[in-house]
Copies of this chain bind each other. A is one copy, B any other.
Amino acid sequence: MLRKTRLFTPGPTPLLPAAQQAMAFYDMHHRTADFRALLTRTLADLKEFIGTKNDILILASSGTGAMEASVSNLTSPGDKVLVLTAGKFGERWTGLAKAYGCAVEVLSAPYGETFSLDEVKSKISGAKVVYMQGTETSTGARHDVQGVAKLVRAETDCLLVVDAITGLGTTHFDVDGWGVDFIIGGSQKALMIPPGLAYCAVSEKAWQRMETAKNPRFYFDLRKERKSQVKGETAYTPATTLIAGMGAALTHIRQMGNGDLVEGRKALIDSAEMCAELTRVAATALGLKLFAAKFPAAAVTAITVPENIDSSALVKDFRESFGAVVANGQGEMKGKLIRVAHLGYYDYLDTVAFAAGLEQVLSRAGAPVVFGTAVKAVQEAYARKTAAKPELAGVKS
């Protein structure tokens, strides 16, 4: 049977055809006026996409590279840092900060949950940096960046670093208004292009910290990188085709906003929010529990599978029957969750397709599924939403 490849994973995500085309054909050397124009334009567009006036950088690395940069550039050995963790990516902050000799204070919440601001407040005193996720990809939970930012601003000399790798383009962040000093994104998420680029927006306060921070850095030396990128260059060889793809993706997002990139970002976020909400509707209709029910992210939804079913079997059947890749739980949640993303080049009809596939794989795994239950619920919810807001459907009102 013919089966398309379908990426329902929280990165890599389905690719935008216009970006694929741009990547396939970009063959310019990076020390040329042509590349400088591309990088300068892409950085300017990315600034509008993030929604900040801060200087931004694009790095040839995965998102973890930018996470490391936010540790190596902003801390000195012995610095107290506060890590907020409630999943696998939160734990990465702990590992990074320890590798750079920080005195790590960890505030953890159970997988699928988020932090109480009171606890953050009780632990923040004396911290040089607070590290957190915008959305925790391993659990599908959304954290309260605005609330934490408020607490960070009350401190003297404390910075807020947010891993928004799956958050940017799926969640609203008022980077400058809330005071996020360092926000991190990755190419293979809402931007609809392959892995290979990280990007970050850095506040003036964070740039100043780099002047005194003593941890070693070279490839990820952001001050050096900034000096190059303001001129449209990069300190080391850039991933040229991925930047061309990013440029094309940002152009597409601008078109989604009828020429306004900020409006396009809002439309992209609305799209993710709607697909996430309807995925929750589908899971709930099938009697499944949402793993992060209280604070659900729009980037990814983690669904708890019935106790007598190993989610690995569902992941395998999704791949074999539908050519569709969904993610398993990570760490201690392996076998207990499936995670489906609403990221990248992914739309409402993909959500319907996921709901239909979920009914089939659950049924084959022995769950008592009444076919059509999830899809009907999704269709009804979509009809209600688009009746109230026709622009969600795209119909001119």
Contact = CB atoms under 8 A, between A and B. Distances in A.
Given A349-B357, A375-B372, A382-B360, A395 B2 contact: no
Interface string A1-35: 11111100000000001000100110000000000
A322 interface: yes
A395 B317 contact: yes
B270 A395 contact: no
B356 A267 contact: no
Given A353-B353, A356-B352, A1 B393 contact: yes
Q: Is the interface of A mostly helix, strand, loop or mixed?
A: helix
Interface stretch (A89-97, A223-231, A340-348): A340-348
Contacts of A2: 256, 267-268, 271, 345-347
A371 B360 contact: no
A1 B274 contact: yes
Interface in A82-121: none
Interface in A137-162: none
A215 interface: no
A391 interface: yes
A356 B349 contact: yes
Contacts of A271: 1-2
A396 B320 contact: yes
A225 to B, nearest CB: 31
Residue of A359, A363, A372, A380 most packed against chain B (CB within 10 A): A372
A6 to B, nearest CB: 7
A364 interface: yes
Residue of A274, A371, A383, A386 most packed against chain B (CB within 10 A): A371
A320 B394 contact: yes
A392 interface: yes
A392 to B, nearest CB: 6
A324 to B, nearest CB: 7
A321 interface: yes
Nearest to A377: B372
Contact of A3 (B4, B24, B382, B394): B394
25 contacts: A1-B274, A1-B391, A2-B256, A2-B347, A4-B345, A4-B347, A4-B349, A4-B350, A5-B17, A317-B395, A320-B394, A320-B396, A321-B395, A322-B347, A322-B349, A322-B394, A324-B349, A352-B356, A356-B379, A359-B379, A360-B383, A371-B383, A372-B375, A372-B379, A373-B376
Given A360-B386, A371-B376, 7 more contacts: A2-B346, A4-B350, A5-B17, A320-B395, A321-B394, A350-B353, A372-B372
